[in-house]
């Protein structure tokens, strides 16, 4: 099971933002080459270094969202995705569902169904009970999305 890299202090936020920008460029180029699965893997990598800094969380989300929306073949993507990323992907799917935006929700729901088949209910439970690593920012929660978060 992938170990959590732990929290990164806010004064390293700039370093994270830079890394995310670098990631974004890499993902854009992968998407241009029609490699959405690689793009998603790149997007999910390193997101375990969760920070409490809101900007980093949002930046991470934007990157992952871009990659999620580009996925056409969900089954194929999940077959080649390392099982250690299932839990992180599940967290981002719920983040997507919380946005309320129709295309995002449709895509996230589609992936959620397949991911649950693969990873089981345990995956959902690990998302629900995880108090430490939550990619959702407080604004989304405070804005009263119709979505219960633990």
Partner 1 sequence: MAVIAVHQFAQCITCHAWSPDQSMVAFCPNNNEVHIYRLVEDKWEKVHVLEKHDQVISGIDWSARSNRIVTASHDRNSYVWNLEGSEWVPTLVILRLNRAALCVQWSPKENKFAVGSGAKTVCICYYEQENNWWVSKLIRKRHDSSVTSVSWHPNNILLATTSTDGKCRVFSTFIKGVDAKDSKKGTSSDLKFGELIVQLDLSSSWTFGVKWSPSGNTLAYVGHNSMIYFVDDVGPSPLAQNVVFRDLPLRDVLFVSEKTVIGVGFDCNPMVFAADERGVWGFIRYLGERKTVSSGSTYGSQFSEAFGKFYGQSKHGVSNDAVETSKTRGAVHDNCINSIIPLGQHGILTRRFSTSGLDGRIVLWDLENEQDLLEL
State the residues that interact with partner 1 by CB under 8 A: 1, 87, 109, 113, 116-117, 119-123, 125-126, 128-132
Contact 57, 51 (CB under 8 A): yes
Residue nearer to partner 1 on the CB measure, 76 or 120 = 120
Gap between the Cα atoms of 89 and 127, Å rounded: 10
Rg (CA), the chain: 15
Closest contact distance (angstroms) between CB of 1 and partner 1 is 5
**Closer Cβ to partner 1, 68 or 123, answer by number:** 123
CB of 30 to partner 1, least distance (A): 28
Contact present, 27 and 43 (Cβ < 8 Å): yes
Q: Which SS3 state, helix, strand or coil, does residue 51 take?
A: strand
Q: Which residues contact 20 (CB under 8 A, 6 or more apart)?
A: 56, 59, 60, 63
Residue 14 CB, nearest approach to partner 1 (Å): 28
Task: Output the smallest distance, CB 123 to partner 1, in A.
Answer: 8
Compare residues 13 and 74 and give the one whose CB is closer to partner 1: 74
Task: Pick between residue 62 and residue 125 the one whose CB is nearest to partner 1.
Answer: 125
Helix (H, G, I), strand (E, B) or coil at 72: coil
SS3 helix, strand, coil % of the chain, rounded to 5? 70, 0, 30
Measured from the CB atom, is 72 or 118 closer to partner 1?
Answer: 118
């Amino acid at each position: 099971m992938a170990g959590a890299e732990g929290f990164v202090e806010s004064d390293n936020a700039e370093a994270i933002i830079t890394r995310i920008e670098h990631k974004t460029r890499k993902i854009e180029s992968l998407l241009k080459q029609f490699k959405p699965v690689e793009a998603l893997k790149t997007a999910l990598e390193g997101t375990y270094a969760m920070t409490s800094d809101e900007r980093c969380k949002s930046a991470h989300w934007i990157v992952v969202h871009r990659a999620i929306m580009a996925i056409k073949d969900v089954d194929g993507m999940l077959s080649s995705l390392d099982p250690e990323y299932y839990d992180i992907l599940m967290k981002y799917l719920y983040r997507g569902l919380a946005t309320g935006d129709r295309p995002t929700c449709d895509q996230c729901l589609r992936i959620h169904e397949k991911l649950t088949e693969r990873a089981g209910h345990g995956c959902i439970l690990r998302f629900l009970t995880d108090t430490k690593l939550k990619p959702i920012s407080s604004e989304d929660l405070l804005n009263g999305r119709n979505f219960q978060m633990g």
